[in-house]
Amino acid sequence: MSDVPPPPDPGPSPRRGRLGPAVLLLVTVAAVAIGLYLGARPLPQEPAPAPSSPAPTASATATPDPLAGLHVVLDPGHNGRNAAATAEVNAPTDDGRGGTKACNTVGTATLSGYPEHAFTWDVAVRTRALLEAAGATVTLTREDDAGVGPCVDERGRSAQEHDGDLLVSLHADGSEDPQVRGYFAIVSEPPLNEAQGEPSRALARAMLQALAEAGFTPSSSYAGALSQRPDLGTLNWAERPVVMLELAQMHNAGEAAVLETEEGRQRYAAAIADGVGRWAAAR
């Protein structure tokens, strides 16, 4: 049905009586048709202005690889054969402060037997994939979970030796009290160089914030879930911003139930990658 109104009634005409019904019908139909035609015709328009260059959109200006140019060194703690190489693992190593430290350790495990070295390796591999997808270059301090070491001094020097921008060492804690829970970060104190100072603390804050926003529980054992220690060679030898993350308490049943699953380890990896991104954006 057309929305065009019928022609206005011209009022009575002295000649209408002479036309007859058939002629009046034809006139009416013709008038309606003309009205429809005129209503459907496009009105003349001024020529459209020449198209200009489109304004940049958010998707066009966003960096497709937000971490492009960033080189991250990930240190998955311990190693799969450490327990079978006691002499090598226990060999004294320079701790970076003039003392000595064992080359490495076996690490801890959940009460069901899932080992820390397997957890840190899996999380590191997952984190690497996420960081590389964002454009970063990623180096791991060990090639697999079937070797021994490397020693803490090698781990600590890895960032500068690979020309990395930062070093994140991944661990999980093993408190004897199964009620203890929560993640925390460790930095070197007192700092031995500029990178171990505020840059490392900024990295720790970014990681702690990312873990909190991912829904993990912070440790109540340290103020702000931040521990400061002088005795960790992995931290002492670093000449780039460095942080050691104790991601969970492996003897806590609730946290063990999360980290023993692929979904849980993927959550940890996503939080670490987020922390790297936060740190990179703020520096």
pLDDT of residue 63: 62
Domain 71-282 annotated CATH 3.40.50.620: no
Q: Produce one character per residue of 129-160: b if its CB has 16 or more CB atoms within 10 Å, e if not.
A: ebbeebebbbbbbbeebeebbbbbbbbbbbbe
User: Interior CA angle at 56 toward 54 and 61, to 5°?
Assistant: 155
In this model, does residue 258 exceed pLDDT 70? Answer: yes
What is the overall mean pLDDT for the chain? 85
In this model, does residue 11 exceed pLDDT 80? Answer: no
In this model, does residue 4 exceed pLDDT 80? Answer: no
pLDDT of residue 64: 78
The tokens of 205 are what? 């804050």
pLDDT of residue 61: 53
Identify the band that residue 120 occupies on the pLDDT scale cut at 50, 70 and 90.
very high
pTM of the model: 0.79
In this model, does residue 266 exceed pLDDT 90? Answer: yes
The share of the chain scoring above pLDDT 90, in percent, equals 77
Identify the band that residue 149 occupies on the pLDDT scale cut at 50, 70 and 90.
very high
For residue range 194-252, what is the model confidence (pLDDT) as tens digits?
999 999 999 999 999 999 999 999 999 999 999 999 999 999 999 999 999 999 999 99
Q: How far is CA 56 from the centre of its chain?
A: 26
246 included as an active-site residue: yes
In this model, does residue 34 exceed pLDDT 70? Answer: no
In this model, does residue 10 exceed pLDDT 90? Answer: no
Mean pLDDT of 172-191: 98
Cα separations (Å) of 258 from 13, 121, 151, 248, 265? 93, 16, 29, 9, 8
DSSP 175-204: -S-TT---BEEEEESS-SSGGGTHHHHHHH
List 116, 189, 246, 255, catalytic entry: 246
Q: Tell which wins on pLDDT, 9 or 74.
A: 74
The share of the chain scoring above pLDDT 70, in percent, equals 78
Identify the band that residue 56 occupies on the pLDDT scale cut at 50, 70 and 90.
very low
Residue 12 is given by DSSP the state -
